[in-house]
A and B are shown apart, each in its own frame.
Chain A
Amino acid sequence: MNILSFFVLIPLLMLLGLWLAKSLNQVKGVMVTGASLLLLLAVYLTVDYISLRNAGETAEMLFTQSVEWYAPLHICYSVGVDGISVVMLLLSAIIVFTGTFASWKLQPLTKEYFLWFTLLSTGVFGFFISTDLFTMFMFYEVALIPMYLLIGVWGSGRKEYAAMKLTLMLMGGSAFLLIGILGIFYGAGGETMNLLEIAKLHIPSSMQYIFFPLVFLGFGVLGALFPFHTWSPDGHASAPTAVSMLHAGVLMKLGGYGCFRVAMYLMPEGTAVWGDFFLVLTTISVVYGAFSAIVQTDLKYINAYSSVSHCGLVLFALLMMTRVSATGAILQMLSHGLMTALFFALIGMIYGRTHTRDIRQMSGLMKIMPFLSVGYVIAGLANLGLPGLSGFIAEMTVFVGSFQNADLFHRVCTIIATTSIVITAVYILRVVGKILYGTCKNPEHLKLTDATWDERLAVICLIVAVAGLGLAPYWVSNVISGSVEPIISQLIR
Chain B
Amino acid sequence: MDVTMIFSMQNELSLIAVLVIVLLADLILKRPNHKALQNLTCVLMLIHIALNVVPQTVDLFGGMYHSTPMASAVKTILSVGTLLVFMQSGQWLGREDTQHKAGEFYVLTLSTLLGMFFMVSAGSFVMFYVGLELASIPMACLVAFDKYRHHSAEAGAKFILNSMFSSAIMLYGLSFVYGTCGTTYFADLPQLLTGTPLQIMAMVFFFAGLGFKLSLVPFHMWTPDTYQGAPTPVSGYLSVISKGAAAFALMSILLKVFGNMVDNWSLLLSVVIVITITVANLFAILQENLKRFMAYSSISQAGYIMLAVLAGSEQGMSSLVYYIVVYIVANLAVFGVIGAVEQQTGGKVDRDTYNGLYRTNPKLTFVMTLALFSLAGIPPFAGFFSKFFVFASAFHSGYWIVVFLALINTIISLYYYLLIVKAMYITPSDAPVPTFRTPRMMRASLFLCLLGIVLLGICSGVFDWLTDLSVR
Contact = CB atoms under 8 A, between A and B. Distances in A.
Interface string A154-188: 00000110001001100110011011001101100
A178 B388 contact: yes
Given A167-B418, A182-B395, A175 B411 contact: yes
17 contacts: A69-B460, A73-B392, A139-B379, A141-B378, A145-B373, A152-B422, A152-B425, A153-B425, A167-B418, A171-B410, A171-B411, A172-B408, A175-B411, A179-B395, A179-B400, A179-B404, A183-B395
Of the listed residues A142, A168, A178, the one surrounded by the most CB atoms of chain B closer than 10 A to its CB is A178
A138 B391 contact: no
Contacts of B414: 167-168, 171
User: Which 8 pairs of residues, A with B, have the shortest CB-CB distance?
Assistant: A175-B407, A182-B395, A138-B379, A72-B467, A152-B426, A172-B411, A141-B379, A70-B460
Interface in A117-162: 134, 138-139, 141-142, 145, 148-149, 152-153, 159-160
B380 interface: yes
A352 interface: no
B145 interface: no
B325 to A, nearest CB: 15
A190 interface: yes
Contact of B392 (A139, A176, A182): A182
A149 B366 CA distance: 13
A178 B421 CA distance: 24
Of the listed residues B379, B389, B407, B421, the one surrounded by the most CB atoms of chain A closer than 10 A to its CB is B379
Nearest to B315: A72
Interface in B239-277: none
Interface in B452-472: 460, 463-464, 467
Interface string B428-465: 00000000000000000000000000000000100110
A182 B391 contact: yes
Of the listed residues A148, A159, A164, the one surrounded by the most CB atoms of chain B closer than 10 A to its CB is A148
A71 interface: yes
A186 B396 contact: yes
Contacts of A190: 396
B117 interface: no
Interface residues on B, range: 20 to 34
B373 A168 contact: no
A72 B464 contact: yes
Of the listed residues B388, B403, B421, B425, the one surrounded by the most CB atoms of chain A closer than 10 A to its CB is B388
Interface in B376-391: 378-380, 384-385, 388-389, 391
B365 to A, nearest CB: 11
B379 A179 contact: no
B278 interface: no
Contacts of B410: 171, 175
A178 B408 CA distance: 10
Given A141-B379, A142-B379, A175 B392 contact: no
Given A153-B426, A179-B407, A70 B463 contact: yes
Contacts of B403: 179, 182
Interface string A304-344: 00000000000000000000000000000000000000000
Interface residues on A, range: 20 to 34
B418 A148 contact: yes
Interface in A183-224: 183, 185-186, 190
A284 to B, nearest CB: 24
A178 B380 contact: no
B116 to A, nearest CB: 27
A149 B369 CA distance: 11
Contact of B415 (A134, A141, A164, A186): A164
B83 to A, nearest CB: 27
Contacts of A186: 395-396
B266 to A, nearest CB: 18
B89 to A, nearest CB: 30
Interface string A77-116: 0000000000000000000000000000000000000000
A214 B152 CA distance: 47
B388 A72 contact: no
B318 interface: yes
Contacts of A183: 395, 400
A179 B425 CA distance: 32
Contacts of A70: 385, 460, 463-464
A152 B315 CA distance: 39
Nearest to A138: B379
A73 B388 CA distance: 11
Contacts of B463: 70, 72
A182 B463 CA distance: 19
A179 B384 CA distance: 14
Nearest to A141: B379
A148 to B, nearest CB: 6
Contacts of A72: 315, 318, 463-464, 467
Contacts of B315: 72
A82 to B, nearest CB: 24
A168 B403 CA distance: 19
B427 to A, nearest CB: 8
A175 B384 CA distance: 12
Contacts of A148: 418, 421
Contacts of A185: 392
A159 to B, nearest CB: 8
B449 to A, nearest CB: 19
Contacts of A152: 422, 425-426
Given A145-B373, A148-B421, A190-B396, A71 B408 contact: no
Interface in A338-380: none
Interface in A436-465: none
Interface in B344-366: none
Nearest to B466: A72
Nearest to A144: B378
Given A152-B425, A171-B410, A186-B395, A138 B418 contact: no
Contacts of A145: 373, 378
A134 B421 contact: no
Interface string B392-409: 100110001001100110
A109 B203 CA distance: 57
A299 B158 CA distance: 58
A164 B315 CA distance: 35
A141 B389 contact: no
A490 B100 CA distance: 74
A148 B415 CA distance: 11
Contacts of B385: 70
Contacts of A142: 379-380
B426 A160 contact: yes
Interface in A227-272: none
